Amino acid sequence: MLSSYLCLFSQPDSFIGGVAPVEDDTFLLFRKYSNVKIPRYRMPGERLTVRGTSDIGRFPGAAPPTRVELTIHHQGEKKQEEGGCRRWFRKMCPCCCKRQNSTSYDVTDKVEFTKPPTPAPVIMEKESDETKLSVCSVDLLSSKTGQNRQEHHTDLYHGDDLIIRRGQTFQMELELNRPFNADTDKLHLDMKTGSLPMVSKGTHAIIPLVEHLEDLRWEAKIVQENGNKVKLSVNSPSTAVVGLYGLSVTTSSLKGEDATTHNSSKNIVMLFNPWCEEDSVFLDDEEERKEYVLNDTGRLYYGTEKQIGSRTWNFGQFHEGILEACLFILEKSDMPPSGQGDPVNVVRVVSAMINAQDDLGVLVGNWSGDYSDGVSPAAWSSSVEILRKYHSTNGTPVSYGQCWVFSGVTTTVLRCLGIPARSVTNFQSAHDTDVSLTTDVYFDVNMEPIDHLNSDSVWNFHVWNDCWMARPDLPPGNGGWQAVDSTPQETSQGTFRCGPASVNAIRTGQVYLKHDTPFVFAEVNSDKIYWQRNLDGTFSQIHSEKKAVGHCISTKAVGSDERADITHLYKHQEGSEEERIAVETASRYGTKPDVYSTPMAEDVSVEVKMEGEGPRMGADAQLSILVKNMSSQPRRTTLHSQVAVMYYTGVLRNAIKKEQIPVDLLPNEEKTIEWVLPYQQYQNQLVDQAALMLTLSGRVNETQQVLANQTSFRLRTPDLNITPVGEAIVGKEMAAKITFTNPLPRTLKGVVFRVEGLGLQKGHEVVVGDVGGHSTVTLTEHFIPTQPGPRKLVASLDCKQLTQVHGVADIVVVEQ
């Protein structure tokens, strides 16, 4: 007979199951506080489970738990005599090792319960019946046909990873081990990017669970619950770092118990968002977004200005492996991940990384004509093979490229990352090597070219890129298209790169604005200056060509394969006074500031003034232009004025009025010119924030002094008038009247009021609908104050035709 003696306790964690082999195959299970140390042993195939129903014995000082003695006799086994080891155990612990009954049974299960002494009362904390919350799985809902990819315009990317754009909500589903209880459970998400994620650097986002989502922040909300599954809507800020994120979900209880974390097996890719108004790459034209972000093919232009050729280029930004290659480029650049939220930084890094001149970038430039150990630049027709080859070889530069190849690959990378981009060709493109902002040709005294000085050149054509973004780092008006050039020509801050340079700054000659604006200005609008050496070694200017460079600047048209001429974006009309002013303004910041005649005097000033708080929406905009002659001689000039619609980010949309204003000034005269923009001219042109920029430029005839002024202003919108009604007492109903008068002679569509007051009432929306021209709306809000003290009731109005309309009322609430 094989017999086992098991000493069992009602709580499994009240003992350690140590089983000691004995001479007669008897096994004893001892409590954890036994002083007898024996090796742990369990019979092969034998399992023992004990489920307790009592808390006694879990706490120090409690009485011993109920003990269960179980004897099992197996049929066919011969009963053994009591061995010496067993006798020793019986002496040591007689209560556990009682002598067995000699009666033999085929199968005997004898259970003897020994009731312990009544324990002293012990106050214990009741164990929670609820299972600790944990996450079983995470579904990122990343299917190309799913809501996330469709709404984020990322359904064209290859694969089923979750690819999203910042500043926009996305969904995910969590499967939990039990239903989520908002009263007792806590949950938050962590998204991390980079090798050393830090909250302070924006590379570690802690995403809390909230009841209401708000814009411009990381947060999550439960939008659906079904048993153990919850669906979250997650919001990201429009400034979030772009790149590859890891996701984890942490759960805990409100009691502060240990948290559990589940790491998602899939990563999340975050991109720039041209569809998000708060993103600095926002582009408000859907057709342009389709062209400059979603179109994966295009046209590149080459040849000469009189014989313009074109070729199709496959950008392939959604092709398999391209997104991974673009993220690899950012990683290899050694740019800190915290810098990947700023498109200016990203574009500047991409410009450097597309060429391999000094940083083992994507393409090796070669203009030698010998491409035997690589691919001829003219043979490429796609960015896909180049980028995939670079990625698959862990960053080995690909041979070879020239300007159109660099530009095509740059377009691919920027569009892939979500930055609107296009390839641009400039015919008769200058290469200024000495930052003179002129293209210089030197001759000796005999009119022979001095070759070692003639480093400047004019290319038949050169291809670079435009990319679209706001430029908060520059003065207002310089957002929009930015020139960026990945072809290695000159270094910028020690690295072969160029841009982003504001196209508007290039056009106006503001070459002191970063990045690399002087170089691009010279490419499109430098004069060709001829110099001859004098006998004393100095040089004199003998001739200049003012229309030598920057012709037929071209890009593919939106929505078609036609060529669009965008020269007017880069420069004023050739030979116009505005164009000459831009050239001469730029030259003052070059290495030859005296190339153009210096004004004999600077005694005329121009400034713009506005009355009171400025023009109001719905009425003609009136400004005053003050021109002063501070000399004792008469002065004459012509002011060129242009007013353009401007986004609040400083991006100019389009000009809505241009005019020329002749000004004649007597000695020491001040003249005020009333400038008017009729409502009819701007009523259909305004964008969000209703901002405008007036640009003035001119030249004083007598002194050649250049006059320039830029003034940004907005059309003021009416305030909401909020009047409290009744006494403000805690717990007592009161009211407030909100009055609004439409300042426009047109109907406002879909007007919505939003009202909120902390300690007064919760935020909510009131849908008003259409409001006729010059009509007045009065809304009465009833509410019960809940907190005493000074409070503010805030209201705002929103509709497509009118924004930034709001009001506030100060209310002092007293106790009853």
Domain of 200, CATH number, reads 2.60.40.10
Query: Number of folded domains in the chain?
Result: 4
Torsion of CA 470, 475, 476, 481, to 10 degrees: -40
Instruction: Using DSSP bridges, classify how beta strands 135-139 and 170-176 pair: parallel, antiparallel or unpaired.
Output: antiparallel
Q: Give the angle 150-151-156 at the CA atoms, nearest 5°.
A: 35
Residues 510 and 380 in one domain: yes
Which CATH number fits the domain that encloses residue 558?
A: 3.90.260.10
- pLDDT tens readout for residues 627-673: 999 999 999 999 989 898 877 555 667 789 989 999 999 999 999 99
Residue 130 confidence (pLDDT): 65
Which residue has 């004199």 as its token pair? 540
pLDDT digits (tens, 9 = 90+) for 550-599: 999 999 999 999 999 999 999 999 999 999 999 989 988 888 887 876 66
Q: Which residues are catalytic?
A: 403, 462, 485
Average of per-residue pLDDT across 705-722:
85
What is the mean predicted confidence (pLDDT) over 212-231? 93
* End residue of a domain, out of 589, 620, 653: 589
Structure tokens at 755: 């009202």
Please say if the pLDDT value at position 16 is more than 80. Answer: no
Mean pLDDT across the chain: 83
Beta bridge partners of 626: 607, 672
Q: Which two tokens stand for residue 149?
A: 């990819």
Distance, in Å, from the CA atom of 172 to the CA atom of 471, rounded to the nearest integer, reads 34
- Alpha-carbon span 423 to 555, nearest angstrom: 6
Residue 776 lies in a domain: yes
Asked if 244 and 301 sit in the same domain, the reply is no
Average pLDDT over residues 177-183: 93
583 with 610, same domain: the answer is no
Question: Is 46 part of any domain?
Answer: no
pLDDT of residue 94: 52
Provide the token pair at 202. Answer: 């924006």
Per-residue pLDDT for 457 more than 90? no
Structural domain includes residue 16: no
Q: Calculate mean pLDDT across residues 787-803.
A: 85
pLDDT higher for 759 or 415?
Answer: 415
Same domain, 747 and 640: no
Instruction: Kindly state whether residues 679 and 803 are assigned to the same domain.
Output: no
Residue 684: inside a domain: yes
DSSP string across 87-155: HHHHHH-TTTSPPPP----SSEEEEEEEPPPPPPP---PPPPSSPPP-EEEEE----TTSHHHHHTT-T
Mean pLDDT confidence for 451-458: 83
Residue 335 lies in a domain: yes
- Are residues 789 and 813 in contact, defined by beta-carbon separation less than 8 angstroms? yes
**Cβ contacts of 402 within 8 Å, gap of 6 or more:** 365, 366, 367, 377, 378, 487
The rounded Cα 276 to chain-centroid distance in angstroms is 10
**Model pTM?**
0.71
| 3-class secondary structure, 679 | helix
- Helix and strand tally (H, E) in the chain? 12, 44
Provide CB contacts within 8 A for 137, sequence distance 6+: 174, 175, 262
* Residue that finishes a domain, picked among 691, 714, 737: 714
Position 614 confidence tier, pLDDT thresholds 50, 70, 90:
confident
Averaged over 508-533, what is the pLDDT? 91
What are phi and psi for residue 206, nearest 5 degrees? -95, 115
> Which band of pLDDT confidence, cut at 50, 70 and 90, is reported for residue 85?
low
**Which helix (H) or strand (E) element contains residue 506?**
helix 503-508
pLDDT value of position 13: 42
Residue 548 clears pLDDT 70, i.e. is over it: yes
The residue behind tokens 């400059």 is: 292
CA distance 330 to 344: 13
Structural tokens at position 433: 């090597």
How far, in Å, CA of 326 to CA of 388, rounded? Answer: 10
| Per-residue pLDDT, 593 | 83
Each residue of 762-772: pLDDT tens digit?
A: 878 899 999 99
Per the structure, the complete domain to which residue 573 belongs is given by: 287-589
- Asked if residue 157 is part of any domain, the answer here is yes
Are 456 and 490 in the same domain? yes
Residue list for the binding site for Ca(2+):
525, 527, 574, 579
The owner of tokens 């005294």 is 445
In the prediction, which pLDDT does 22 show?
42
pLDDT at 54 (0 to 100): 37
Q: Do 807 and 719 contact (CB within 8 A), yes or no? A: yes
Is 552 in the same domain as 615? Answer: no
CA 204 to chain centre: 13
Residue 123 located in a structural domain? no
258 in the same domain as 173? yes
The C-alpha atoms of residue 351 and residue 329 are separated, in whole angstroms, by 11
Residues 181 and 223 in one domain: yes
Cα 388 to its chain centre, rounded Å, is 25
pLDDT bin (cut points 50, 70, 90) of residue 15 is: very low
Residues 44-83: tens digit of each pLDDT: 444 433 334 333 333 334 333 433 333 334 444 444 455 5
Task: Give pLDDT, residue 254.
Answer: 83
For residue 29, what are its two tokens?
């299970």
Maximum average pLDDT range among 294-298, 702-706, 711-715: 294-298
Does the pLDDT of residue 2 top 80, yes or no?
Answer: no
- Residue 398 shares a structural domain with residue 344: yes
Residues belonging to the binding site are 525, 527, 574, 579
Q: How far apart are CA 36 and CA 16, in angstroms?
A: 12
Average pLDDT over residues 797-813: 86
Helix (H, G, I), strand (E, B) or coil at 435: coil
Same domain? For 365 and 490 the reply is: yes
In this structure, are 749 and 688 located in the same domain?
no
Which among 589, 616, 647 is the end of a domain?
A: 589
- Given CA atoms 422, 428, 430, 431 in this order, what sign does their dihedral have? positive
Has residue 81 been placed in a domain?
A: no
